[in-house]
């Protein structure tokens, strides 16, 4: 198939693109290469994709989702079978200080993707949502049947908005859409703004790490390989319109959680990094930050039932693989310098 992957220089986008190429698909990847975090890492991901390229089955284009004319032209020219929208302005804390970036990328950009799908008869739109939509919900584990009407960050609000926009287009234009609520994704080639990346860097350099809420927060950390397997399974499982007990709207629309279904404490997470690094962390205790939640915990029963897949990588195994990559990667970077 011909597949559009937006955010293809990003962590999940790069990993998905690499797998799709190996599976024999043709991938058009787009990204605006913004400087939210180190652009050099994004460029290194793209270089790695060039090595994976076979028979011209990967093409990269530097395009911003907010560029309506370029996105419209791209859809008309390429006529994609499937679209996987992973491009977004990420980061809960960053959204507090930079709200306009989230409206532009996550709302305007997503609308342009929906319009492209609408006018070119895309068979399936799969898009990234986030576990952040659950906010401070008290019921555990988080189910896609739960209400998510009380976001506590603008990032979460934009992701919930994406789900509402997708449902509207599914209902009005019969476009099959599937939203994926990712739960704390980590692994090699990951995002430098994430805690596991920052902790590893600080521990190896002998600097203290900021530990919020005494390390008592819990996260449903999900290893990148499990995330990609889930995305691939969902791509092949195109939703159909079905009756609902709460609405007469007919829409080929679905939402899934993709999480490890086994939340671990920040304390266990830190211990896993210490063990992988072979170094004990120095800690700087801090209170809970604005926008943070005490726990994320994914109910993945629908994912298992519909796709037969359940994430299984333990935090210890996943962190070990990340730390091994980190040490090797930055050894190479330092040699360049």
pLDDT given for residue 95 in this prediction = 76
The DSSP code sequence of 185-215 is EE-TT--TTSHHHHHHHHHHHT--EEEEGGG
pLDDT given for residue 337 in this prediction = 44
Cα–Cα dist 220/298, whole Å: 7
Pick the residue with more confidence: 335 or 156?
Answer: 156
Q: How far is CA 261 from the centre of its chain?
A: 16
Pick the residue with more confidence: 257 or 241?
Answer: 257
Give the tens place of pLDDT for each residue, 124-151: 999 999 999 999 898 999 999 999 999 9
Q: Once rounded to an integer, what is the mean pLDDT over residues 233-239? A: 96
Give the tens place of pLDDT for each residue, 163-214: 999 999 999 999 999 999 999 999 999 999 999 999 999 999 999 999 988 8
Give the tens place of pLDDT for each residue, 76-111: 999 999 999 999 887 777 777 788 889 989 999 999
The count of other CB atoms within 10 Å of the CB of residue 32 is: 18
Q: What is the pTM of this model?
A: 0.93
Catalytic residues: 155
Cα–Cα dist 258/183, whole Å: 6
pLDDT given for residue 334 in this prediction = 63
């Amino acid at each position: 198939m011909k597949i559009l992957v937006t955010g293809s220089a990003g962590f999940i986008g790069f990993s998905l693109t690499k797998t799709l190429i190996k599976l024999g698909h043709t991938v058009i990847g787009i990204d605006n290469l913004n400087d939210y975090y180190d652009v050099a890492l994004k460029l290194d991901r793209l270089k790695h994709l060039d090595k994976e390229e076979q028979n011209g089955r990967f093409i990269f284009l530097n395009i911003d989702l907010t560029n309506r004319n370029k996105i419209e032209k791209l859809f008309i020219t390429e006529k994609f079978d499937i679209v996987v929208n992973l491009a977004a302005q990420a980061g809960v804390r960053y959204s507090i200080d930079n709200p306009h970036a989230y409206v532009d990328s996550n709302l305007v950009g997503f609308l342009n993707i929906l319009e492209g799908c609408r006018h070119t008869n895309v068979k399936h739109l799969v898009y990234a949502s986030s576990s952040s939509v659950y906010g401070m919900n008290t019921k555990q584990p988080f189910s896609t049947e739960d209400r998510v009407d009380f976001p506590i960050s603008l990032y979460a609000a934009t992701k919930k908005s994406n789900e509402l926009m997708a449902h509207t287009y599914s209902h009005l234009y019969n476009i099959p859409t599937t939203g994926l609520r990712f739960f704390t994704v980590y692994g090699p080639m990951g995002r430098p703004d994430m805690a596991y990346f920052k902790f590893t860097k600080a521990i190896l350099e002998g600097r203290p790490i900021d530990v919020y809420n005494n390390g008592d927060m819990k996260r449903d950390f999900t290893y990148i390989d499990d995330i990609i397997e889930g995305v691939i399974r969902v791509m092949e499982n195109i939703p159909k319109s079905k009756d609902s007990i709460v609405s007469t709207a007919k829409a080929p629309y679905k939402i899934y959680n993709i999480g490890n279904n086994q939340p671990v404490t920040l304390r266990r997470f830190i211990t896993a990094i210490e063990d992988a690094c072979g170094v004990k962390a120095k800690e700087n205790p801090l209170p809970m930050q604005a926008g943070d939640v005490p726990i994320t915990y994914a109910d993945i029963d629908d994912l298992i039932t519909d796709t037969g897949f359940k994430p299984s990588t333990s935090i210890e195994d996943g962190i070990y693989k990340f730390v091994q990559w980190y040490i090797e990667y930055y050894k190479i970077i330092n040699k360049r310098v």
